[in-house]
Amino acid sequence: MFKKALAGIGAGALLFGLTACGGGGDDSGDGGSGNGLVIGFAQVGAESAWRTANSDSVKAAAEAAGHTLKFVDGQQEQETQISAVRDFITQQVDAIVLAPVVETGWTDVLQEAEDAGIPVILADRGVEAADEDLYVTRLGSDFAEEGRKAGAWAAETFAADADGTKILELQGTTGSAPANDRKAGFFEVLDSEGLNYEIVDSQSGNFTAEEGKAVMETFITTHGLDGIDLLYAHNDEMGLGAIQAIEEAGKVPGKDIQIIIVDGSKAGFEAGVAGKLNYIVECNPVFGDQLMEVVESVVNGDEVEKFTPVEEGVFDATQFEAELPNRQF
């Protein structure tokens, strides 16, 4: 259905790319200029080191490719992102890159972009399946696979725990793709591996250190830490905030309670080297160059995959020190 609109864009795209482009002009102060494309980027916010690295990567790649990037920080508010997309449509940009803070509620604005003939490329997070025809492609992480990786380590590590593994979970932003999928993938593997476990508590820390710490303090007040085996934090910031709360409660993170985090920032690895956490599932934010290639292909009307995952690894305690110098954010 979007193919039809895209075909039209594709036909004119080469001309766009080779002569002047979109009607927007550069009023953002971000990104490069020249004869490239005008790209609107509605980013989630600046809630984590991951997010900052992602914004930096996209800005640098746009500039290097000679495109003009209109960057809007959504401040973790869907309304702000929807307004940004509407502004991009008004400005008739060549393409819109959206990193949707949550999965639902995008149908109307995506339809408006399609009606205007402007292709939408999702970066990082996805939207609900019902809206799949309204964007062209998504480049980002396979969040369910990240959750499965965390689950595989937990299932192996606690396989011999006859009493049942007691788990606390710090979820990401409620309704976001990484929170939904990291949770689903994790428990899918614990179940398929037959681990005997109990979810003692599971709350959102909104992907921030402050909220992660506050939620962990509540967990500690409500349940104590005795007998809790594992904390699964959906990102580094929440895990690092929780580590502070655990230390302030007089316990030893990484020993009294084992900890898994997702992202793999420098700060996360430093905590790992200090023995304060046990497993890191990488989520890679540095895909700006790849994103520019996808945007160019889409505007050129080339066939693109509906989803392109970025490459990501996993790291246990034996690997933290060697890997730390390689971290880019």
Applying CB under 6 A, the residues found at the interface with ligand AHR are 47-48, 50-51, 124-125, 178, 207, 235, 262-263, 283
Smallest gap from residue 41 Cβ to ligand AHR (A) = 15
If the CB atoms of residues 21 and 291 are measured against ligand AHR, the closer one turns out to be 291
If the CB atoms of residues 2 and 269 are measured against ligand AHR, the closer one turns out to be 269
Smallest gap from residue 284 Cβ to ligand AHR (A) = 10
If the CB atoms of residues 42 and 65 are measured against ligand AHR, the closer one turns out to be 42
If the CB atoms of residues 65 and 209 are measured against ligand AHR, the closer one turns out to be 209
If the CB atoms of residues 2 and 106 are measured against ligand AHR, the closer one turns out to be 106
What 3 state SS string does the chain have? CHHHHHHHHHHHHHHHHHCCCCCCCCCCCCCCCCCCCEEEEEECCCCCHHHHHHHHHHHHHHHHHCCEEEEEECCCCHHHHHHHHHHHHHCCCCEEEECCCCCCCCHHHHHHHHHCCCCEEEECCCCCHHHHHHCCEEEECCHHHHHHHHHHHHHHHCCCCCCCEEEEEEECCCCCHHHHHHHHHHHHHHHHCCCCEEEEEEEECCCCHHHHHHHHHHHHHHHCCCCCCEEEECCHHHHHHHHHHHHHCCCCECCCEEEEEEECCHHHHHHHHCCCCCEEEECCCCCHHHHHHHHHHHHHCCCCCCEEECCCCEEECCCHHHHHHHCCC
Smallest gap from residue 227 Cβ to ligand AHR (A) = 29
Smallest gap from residue 207 Cβ to ligand AHR (A) = 4
If the CB atoms of residues 21 and 179 are measured against ligand AHR, the closer one turns out to be 179
Smallest gap from residue 48 Cβ to ligand AHR (A) = 4
Smallest gap from residue 51 Cβ to ligand AHR (A) = 5
